[in-house]
Amino acid sequence: MNSRILGAALTMFALMAAAHADAIFQSGQNISNFVSVVGTSGETGMTINGATNKTPSVPIRFTSPQSMVGGSGAASIDAPTGTFLSSVTISAPGFSFDSIEFNATTLSSSGVLMISVLMTNGQTFTCPLSTCAFSNVNGNNRYTVFTANGERILDVTISSIGGSGTGFKELSQVRFNGSAGGFEPIPEPGTLGLLGTGLISLAGITRRKLKLGVLGRS
């Protein structure tokens, strides 16, 4: 009986550990209580750093395989004159987040972009083209990404699927959930290791207790 209970408990734990996470994609700007990104003005390069505009401030990083130009105000990331950005990844170094919204403007052509989301559990989600149409070539393409099932986001990438020389001119109005659950520090590897060791030790103690119980009834 006890061995069956242990087996069921271990199975349940495995299922919980592998719980499916989801990224929910919505057109428009849908975060009501938000923080914006500032501090990118005057920055150039393949990495541009900013920060959220409310205390406590959280670092925000933009990375790309191409050179970018940091805009002013509510941070914008621009392509150098006469070019398009093919890919930009947005992250919060040292933190995870539960939602993000942004605006990709002035596309090289309709339907040229896609959104990919990397979760803290290693899963990656890509927005279906039927949802993320990115069809407004000369204007706004606002999108929001939420999470479900308690999962957290590590980074979001907006990239071109149209080949070399395609993409967008500007990434602006980058916003995150401004509530208490918006950002969470990512546990350091040492902390995760201690947690894993504790769980393994607990499982070993449980097995020994069950084994001794079975022997005692023999």
60 burial (CB, 10 Å; 0-12 / 13-18 / 19+) is buried
Residue 176 lies in a domain: yes
CATH number at residue 55: 2.60.120
Domain encompassing residue 51:
18-202
Q: Tell me, what DSSP letter sits at residue 199?
A: H
Residue 214 lies in a domain: no
Number of domains forming the structure of the chain:
1
Output the six-digit token pair for 164: 């070399």
* Number of neighbouring beta carbons within 10 Å of residue 108: 20
Residue 26 lies in a domain: yes
pTM over 0.85: no
Query: Which segments in the chain show pLDDT lower than 50?
Result: 1-20, 191-199
Residue 174 lies in a domain: yes
Name the CA dihedral angle for 105, 72, 98, 181, rounded to a multiple of 10 degrees: -150
Residue 211 lies in a domain: no
